[in-house]
Amino acid sequence: MPVTPSLPPDPDRLHPIDRRAGVVFLRPLLAAHPPAEGAGPTEVGAYSYYHDFEDPTRFFSRNVRYHFPFSPERLVIGKFCALAHGTTFVMASAAHTMAGPSTYPFPIMGGAWAEAMPLADVPFPNKGDTVIGNDVWLGYESLILPGVTVGDGAVVAARAVVHDSVPPYAVVAGNPSRVIRFRFEPAIVSRLLDLAWWTWPANRVIAAIPTLVDGDLDALERLAP
């Protein structure tokens, strides 16, 4: 009998690993918990996953903080990202104004305070979107602060506090985080970004897996569509 070829994981299946409920693909999780149910504008690419030792299905309510339905800033997570237990995003709507002597958010409390200064008149700072590139690994209990961009192929170490944008294929660690090294030389990083393997058709990704995991760049370029 002919052998039926195996298929890649379904990017819209919530739990991609059999008997492993601690891992969820984030795109179907977002579809099950749309922004109208408590999150601001959010985009997630295929195959990006979150692992949690307790309940990964609470990611968008527990790990994405201060991201309200009315928030203008977006959370964007690319394809093939790996988010370890406790990865947390603090979004730009967490900010308090520091333009004057007090940082207290008087108008939010309503009543006479709101009448004294309408909420719309408060000069809240907004650091903008938080963007995670493709093939990014965010380590155990890493904290991503508002307005940060983490470039393609970057690695964020466990419990790092990322306050500034991270270049592609950089490794950052610490509080505040700093670049401790780059995974590859600049010329190789440029070639990898040109390849953008995460955009390839599914069959090409399957063929490239051994090379992606333990191969060289020349071999990967030969596999490109």
Run means of pLDDT, 10 residues per run, the chain, 225 residues: 70 85 93 67 96 94 88 94 98 89 91 90 87 98 97 98 97 98 97 98 94 94 94
Biggest CA-to-CA distance, the chain? 79
**DSSP β-ladder status, 161-162 and 170-173:** unpaired
Q: Which of 33, 51, 96, 163 is the catalytic position?
A: 96
What's the pLDDT score for residue 35?
A: 57
Q: Which residues contact 3 (CB under 8 A, 6 or more apart)?
A: none
What's the pLDDT score for residue 44?
A: 97
**Does 35 sit behind a cis peptide bond, omega within 30 degrees of 0 on the bond before it?**
no
163 is catalytic: no
DSSP alpha helices (H): ranges in 56-138? 59-62, 111-116
Fill in the DSSP letter of residue 132: E
**DSSP β-ladder status, 75-77 and 42-44:** parallel
What domains are defined for the chain?
A: 23-96+128-183 (2.160.10.10), 185-225 (no CATH)
What's the pLDDT score for residue 200?
A: 97
Say which amino acid occupies 186: P
